[in-house]
A and B are shown apart, each in its own frame.
Chain A
Amino acid sequence: MTDKNAKKVPLLEVRDLHVEFHTRDGVAKAVNGVNYSVDSGETLAVLGESGSGKSVTAQAIMGILDMPPGKIPQGEILFRGEDMLKMSAEERRKIRGAKIAMIFQDALSSLNPVLSVGYQLGEMFRVHKGMSKKEAKAKAIELMDRVRIPAAKERVNDYPHQFSGGMRQRIMIAMALALEPDLIIADEPTTALDVTVQAQVMDLLAELQREYNMGLILITHDLGVVADVADKIAVMYAGRIVETAPVHELYKRPAHPYSRGLLDSIPRLDQKGQELYAIKGLPPNLLNIPAGCAFNPRCPMAQDTCRTDVPVLHQVTERDGDVLAGRGSACHFWKETIHG
């Protein structure tokens, strides 16, 4: 921190990323110029509905996108300042798992059903660190303890189907942590879990992140899940980021009509018996994204400009012009949205 001139390089930075899929019916533009960054010890929540491009972005970062049909025509993914898209397959493979790890929604299908959990956990150490079988197993038990799986020693030889959903997701977390990565990408990590288990798993994830000082990208469609653990939030719609904000501020004062609509459509106690606010219309068809602002057909504030000009991410300021740090809105009428 002493050298103020050295520009701090973020842990991960995505710059103007585009991803498209070539399908039978045409080109589906899944990601259309996404920018975001995460630092060590920071949690970025990426919020969006199905088809918003949130998971595709994550897959592009991990390098697990199916190509073809997927294609990255444009953009950079900088990990500690180096563009991973320009790396060789071998270099990327070394980063994957060791430096950047991923946790998926469906733990059961992400674990190999015919191998014991201990073997699969130990594999990370055998392959990446060249440990012996015995050492790897000891490490596996240690990890299972870490993610608070009861009786880890006895259960290390059990198979994935012998664990409950919550326990399996813990195993996935353990596996992601195995090589102490710098960044974890969690794609809907609690969506498949029950409410009472969701809280356990989310807390565990947040705690481990603090402990290891990792960067965490949390991808979700659930506004509630991210509120507790995220530092900042990026709302995606039709492959673009429409709003960025520190998490509390987004909930308090959304600056994009889409985020506001999402927040308003959650049932609130004082609205009981009334109609819920509903965003009209349907999520966009990625084969045929509306011109201008992709949200314009569903937006209550849309004007002619919205139908022709793609809005850039504006810096959001207070009424008197004070810059609100970390806040951006890709809406021509962000001022009207946030200041009413």
Chain B
Amino acid sequence: MPEATEGTATLPAAEEQAVPKSQGRSDGAKPRSLWSDAWRDLRRNPLFVASAVLILLLLVMTAFPSLFTDASPRDGNLQGAFLKDPEYGKVFSAEWLGYDGQGRSIWARLVYGARASVIVGVVVTAAVTLFGGLVGMLAGYFGGWLDSLLSRLTDIFAGIPFLLGAMVVLTSFDVRSVWVVSAALVFLGWTQIARVMRGSVISCKQADYVVAAKALGAGTGRILLRHILPNAVAPVIVVATIALGGYISAEATLSYLGIGLADPVVSWGIDVSAGKDQLRNAPHVLLFPALMVSITVLAFIMLGDAVRNALDPKLR
């Protein structure tokens, strides 16, 4: 059975060890893990660069909003600035994107609103990846009754309509902080990762290198952590990256519906909701927060796509 292609970056043969190392191919001379290969790919991918720059900007905004604006997102000036039109020439100033129905700078609210979105997105993704990943890994690796049990549990949670479920959960809380909203999203969102992880683990556990580790006498912990997890995690990372955007838009949706975050928390979803009443005479009030949600979600989906392309062995 001939292999389709020999490795493209093979090293000089053992028999030719006498050949000085410097004569080997330059890129073959240093160790390259799949991750570093993927990173090399990513850096050349304009899609990745664009999304990474956007996301980086967003993260900085979250950490240091005062770098982007001097205005406060909560100080309203109803007399002077009620629904004031944007002044596009004054880039990054309080007036840049105009004022909302309570006379607050929209630019400032966009900058400060990033925090809620990013925190919800990151916290939910992290929790979902940990919990869903664990469930999926256990179900996939051990199989049998544990798999049946966990898989049915996953099915049950996956069967709950996401928005409806979140509404039901959230209405039972009086104070809906960023953390409460995140918890609700985790509660309903972990199933997707669990399924991806389970499938990925099942395909990895049949691989010869896992059999080889067993033949050496390796224990379950070693097999899971050293052999299966590093190989099974790639599709999970892709799904989680794309899902992160989804959680941000879910938060915005819930806040828009009035059952997610609420004043005084600054959130794009709340602003979209507030803007809908003045859509005809002041469309910018709704437009900019909505645009911000879209750009953010798009950035994460693009990132996920780029990561998928870099990690997918079929494309390399």
Residues in A lying within 8 Å of B, measured CB to CB:
23-25, 28, 49-51, 188, 191-192, 221, 280-283, 285-288, 297
Binary interface encoding of chain B residues 1-18 relative to chain A, with 1 for a CB under 8 A from any of its CBs, else 0 = 111111011100101100
Contact B316 A24 (CB under 8 A): yes
CA distance A123 to B41 in the complex (A): 43
Bound Cα distance from A119 to B8, whole angstroms: 41
Contact A50 B15 (CB under 8 A): no
Q: Is the CB of A281 within 8 A of B10?
A: no
Q: Using A24-B316, A191-B1, A288-B25 as known contacts, say yes or no to A51 and B15 having CB atoms under 8 A apart.
A: no
Task: Say yes or no: A282 contacts B10, CB within 8 Å.
Answer: yes
Q: Are A287 and B16 in contact (CB under 8 A)?
A: no
Q: Which residues of B contact A287 (CB under 8 A)?
A: 8
Contact indicator A28/B8 (Cβ below 8 Å): yes
Q: What is the CA–CA distance of A297 and B13 in the complex, to the nearest angstrom?
A: 10
Q: Flag if A281 contacts B1 (CB, 8 Å).
A: no
The reply to whether B4 and A50 contact each other, CB–CB distance below 8 Å, is: yes
With A24-B316, A191-B1, A288-B25 known to touch, is A50 a contact of B6 (CB < 8 Å)?
yes
Task: Pick from A25, A192, A282: contact of B9, CB below 8 A.
Answer: A25
Q: In the bound complex, how far is the Cα of B13 from the Cα of A280, in angstroms?
A: 8
Known: A49-B2, A50-B4. A285 touches B10 (CB 8 A): yes
Q: CB-nearest residue of chain A relative to B8?
A: A25
Closest residue on chain B to residue A51 by CB atoms: B6
Residue of B nearest to A278 (CB): B15
A23, A280, A283: the one within 8 Å of B6 (CB) = A283
Measured CA separation A282–B3 after assembly (Å): 14
Neighbouring B residues of A192 by C-beta, 8 Å: 1
Q: Is the interface of A mostly helix, strand, loop or mixed?
A: loop
Task: Show 5 residue pairs from A and B whose CB-CB distance is below 8 angstroms, ordered by the A residue.
Answer: A49-B2, A51-B6, A281-B16, A282-B10, A297-B16
**Bound-state Cα–Cα, A221 to B3, Å:** 11
Residue of B nearest to A28 (CB): B8
User: Chain A contacts of B4 at CB under 8 A?
Assistant: 50
CA distance A50 to B6 in the complex (A): 7
Complex Cα distance, B1 from A102, in Å, reads 19
Chain A residues whose CB sits within 8 angstroms of the CB of B15 once the complex forms? 280-281
Nearest Cβ in chain A — how far from B243, in angstroms?
28
Which residues of chain B are within 8 angstroms of A281 by Cβ–Cβ distance? 13, 15-16
Asked whether A23 lies within 8 Å of B2 as measured between CB atoms, the reply is no
One digit per residue, 1 when the CB lies within 8 angstroms of any chain A CB and 0 when it does not, for chain B 283-316 equals 0000000000000000000000000000000001
C-alpha spacing A283/B4, complex, angstroms? 13
1/0 contact string of B100-124 vs chain A (CB within 8 Å): 0000000000000000000000000
Measured between beta carbons, the chain B residues less than 8 angstroms from A191 are: 1-2
Q: Once the chains bind, are A50 and B25 in contact (CB under 8 Å)?
A: no
For the complex, give the distance between the alpha carbons of A95 and B3 in Å: 30
- Say how far B236's CB is from chain A's closest CB, in angstroms: 25
The distance in angstroms between the C-alpha atoms of A17 and B6, with both chains bound, is 22
Residues from chain A with a CB closer than 8 A to the CB of B41 are 24
Q: A50-B2, A191-B1 are known contacts. Are A285 and B13 too (CB-CB below 8 A)?
A: no
Q: Which residues of B contact A297 (CB under 8 A)?
A: 16
**A282 nearest in chain B by CB position:** B13
| Contact in complex: B2, A221 (CB < 8 Å) | yes
Q: Determine the distance from Cα of A25 to Cα of B32 in the docked complex, in whole angstroms.
A: 14
Q: What's the minimum C-beta distance from A299 to chain B, rounded to whole angstroms?
A: 13
Q: Are B10 and A23 in contact (CB under 8 A)?
A: no
User: Which chain B residues lie closer than 8 Å to A25 at the CB level?
Assistant: 8-9, 27
What residue of chain B has the Cβ atom nearest to residue A49's Cβ? B2
Interchain nearest-CB distance for B13 vs A (Å): 4
Tell me, in angstroms, the Cα distance from A188 to B4 when the chains sit together.
12
Q: How far, in whole Å, are A192 and B6 apart by their CA atoms in the complex?
A: 19
Q: Counting chain B CB atoms within 10 Å of each CB, which of A192, A282, A286, A287 scores highest?
A: A282
**Candidate in B2, B9, B15, B25 with the most chain A CB atoms within 10 angstroms:** B2
User: What is the bound-complex CA distance between A297 and B316, given in angstroms?
Assistant: 28
Residues of B1-53 contacting chain A, CB below 8 A: 1-6, 8-10, 13, 15-16, 25, 27, 41
A30 to chain B, nearest CB (A): 10
Question: In the complex, A70→B10 CA distance in Å?
Answer: 22
Chain B residues with CB under 8 Å of A282's CB are: 6, 10, 13
Chain B residues numbered 244-265 whose CB sits less than 8 Å from any CB in chain A: none
Complex CA distance for A326 and B70, rounded to whole angstroms: 87
Report B202 CB to chain A, min CB distance, Å. 22
Contact of A285 with B2 in the complex, beta carbons under 8 Å: no
Q: Could you list 4 further interchain pairs (A-B, Cβ under 8 angstroms) beyond the known A24-B41, A282-B10?
A: A24-B316, A191-B2, A280-B13, A285-B8
Bound form: Cα–Cα A283–B13 in Å: 10
Chain B: CB-nearest residue to A25 = B8
For B25, the chain A residues whose CB sits under 8 A away are 285, 288
| Min CB gap A105→B, angstroms | 9
Q: B8 touching A51 by the CB < 8 A rule?
A: no
> Is the beta-carbon distance between B9 and A50 smaller than 8 angstroms?
no
Residue on B nearest A21 in the bound complex, by CB: B5
CB-CB nearest in chain B for A30: B5
